[in-house]
Structure 1
Amino acid sequence: MNQSSQINSYKYLDLVMAAFVAVLIISNIASSAKIVDLGFSLFGIPMAFDGGTLLFPLSYIFGDILTEVYGFRASRRVIWTGFFLLALASLVFFILKRLPPESAWEGYAGTQAYDAILGGMSTGGIALASLAGYWMGEFSNSAVLSRMKVWMQGKHLWMRTIGSTLVGEFVDTAVFVLVASLFGVFGWELFVTLVVTNYLFKCGVEALMTPVTYWVVALLKKHENLDTYDVGVSLNPFKLGLN
């Protein structure tokens, strides 16, 4: 069976991809909707983070599951699918921002509120930051896990999922906050706070969810009759083919 037929024969890949993309888009909208402050500091850094942080770590758990079970090639297709759909969501908000408002809506909600809450999704700020951080972080996570699985001969899944997340989440968080700050979405005074709190929270969620990751991976491997090792597989993210 060739790789294209094999990918199309998977029973649950489409469901994992759908959940992955849903988490991605919802978390990015939440990122521009609200900054959360837990009201305490850790090592002098206020524990404040954007709303998307509550859900976004799940995308890395899905990314780990995709690479561990289906391999880097399938994961690469899903990451690109998420990238283009996130770009589409940003385009929709961009168009909505420029369409004329209805008078009643303008009275009880208004363009000012739309710009304040969803403006980042409709301009270069959150949209570009999300796309850049997501793309670089997810591919870093998937590549690290893929290589670690081959090096470790499939042993110590917890070490691979947490290790790849430490790399991927750092890249994602740093790039996201940097680009968003450059476009004025976040003030520079929040830069260190957002990077540190987002990174610690996301990695903490990954560590806490490790038993769930083990369970889902084992379930999928059993029902798909699959355990992919990316021996000789190119980790080039731009190689959109199936080899």
Structure 2
Amino acid sequence: MTNEVLWFLLMLVNFGGILLFYRLMGKTGLYIWTAIATIIANIQVLKTVELFGFVATLGNIVYGTTFLVTDILSENYGKKDARKAVYVGFWSLIVMTVMMQLALYFKPDQSDFAQGALETIFSIMPRIVIASLTAYWLSQLHDIWAYHLWKNKLPQLKFLWVRNNLSTMVSQFIDSFVFCFIAFWGVYELNVFWSILWTTYFFKWIVAAADTPFLYFAKYLHDKNKINELVK
């Protein structure tokens, strides 16, 4: 199975996972998904792959789904609930980083086989986390602000797909630009660095466009009272 096929399969799994979490657990499910996605994305982003002839980081799909989460919350519940998801993702990443850095300081037993692999993944995590937290905070808050701008102050842009894509695609650019410069500047050769930056944004752009039908379906579930809210 090619990387391209796996990439589209991973995208469908992520979108389907969000709808499942939302259907079964309501807003709580979306907050849980945000925590999962921010942690997984910051591990997957360490892996570079070739997609459609370009070098890209792997975590762009699962990270991109956090924008779908905030758009669902913005559309169905409002700005305040959408911002809660940003806080959940922000603090989940901080806690994961602290926990894993402490874990690395434990002296492994002679029977241990995982320490080297854990060091390879998590020893550079602080730089990745600083990049991710900065990019995440700026881009997500912009996404929420822009979504409500298109929805409330520019009624001529009344279509759901318009505000979803306009807010997310600009926010994705902010995210990609800030993250790549903090995380990868000086790590890769310039040609690889620029390839990662632009292809990362391009693939996030595809994810943003592809999530639109799932946003419509999430709105349908909400409007038809088909959501099992764990917290009323």
Task: Tell me if TM exceeds 0.5.
Answer: yes
Secondary structure of the residue aligned to 1:103 is coil
Q: Which residue in the other structure is 1:120 paired with?
A: 124
Give the counterpart letter for 1:127 in structure 2: V
Secondary structure of the residue aligned to 1:104 is coil
Q: Which residue in the other structure is 2:111 paired with?
A: 104
Q: TM-score, normalization: structure 1? A: 0.76
Q: Which residue in the other structure is 1:37 paired with?
A: 50
Q: Which residue in the other structure is 2:101 paired with?
A: 94
User: How many Å separate the matches in 2 of 1:178 and 1:83?
Assistant: 19
CA drift of 1:164 comes to: 0.5
The one of 215, 218, 229 equivalent to 1:216 is 218
Q: Is contact 1:181–1:187 with CA below 8 Å preserved after alignment?
A: no
The one of 160, 164, 168 equivalent to 2:163 is 160
Q: Mind listing any 5+ residue stretches in structure 2 that lack a counterpart?
A: 1-24, 228-232
Q: Which residue in the other structure is 1:169 paired with?
A: 172
Q: Which residue in the other structure is 1:15 paired with?
A: 29
Q: Which residue in the other structure is 1:49 paired with?
A: 56
Encode CA deviations 1:46-93: one digit per residue, 9 max, x unaligned.
x11112113211111111111111111111122112101111011112
Q: Percent identity?
A: 28
Question: Paired residues, what number?
Answer: 202
User: How many Å separate the matches in 2 of 1:176 and 1:102?
Assistant: 36
Cα distance change on mapping 1:94 and 1:58 into 2, 3 Å: same
Q: Mind listing any 5+ residue stretches in structure 1 that lack a counterpart?
A: 1-10, 41-46, 226-243
User: How many Å separate the matches in 2 of 1:79 and 1:54?
Assistant: 17
User: How many Å separate the matches in 1 of 2:171 and 2:42?
Assistant: 17
Q: Is contact 2:57–2:196 with CA below 8 Å preserved after alignment?
A: yes
Secondary structure of the residue aligned to 1:159 is helix
Q: Is contact 1:27–1:53 with CA below 8 Å preserved after alignment?
A: yes
User: How many Å separate the matches in 2 of 1:187 and 1:136?
Assistant: 26
User: How many Å separate the matches in 2 of 1:119 and 1:188?
Assistant: 23
Secondary structure of the residue aligned to 1:166 is helix
Q: Which residue in the other structure is 1:129 paired with?
A: 131
User: How many Å separate the matches in 2 of 1:70 and 1:131?
Assistant: 24
Q: Is contact 1:181–1:188 with CA below 8 Å preserved after alignment?
A: no
Secondary structure of the residue aligned to 2:51 is strand
Cα root mean square deviation, aligned: 2.1
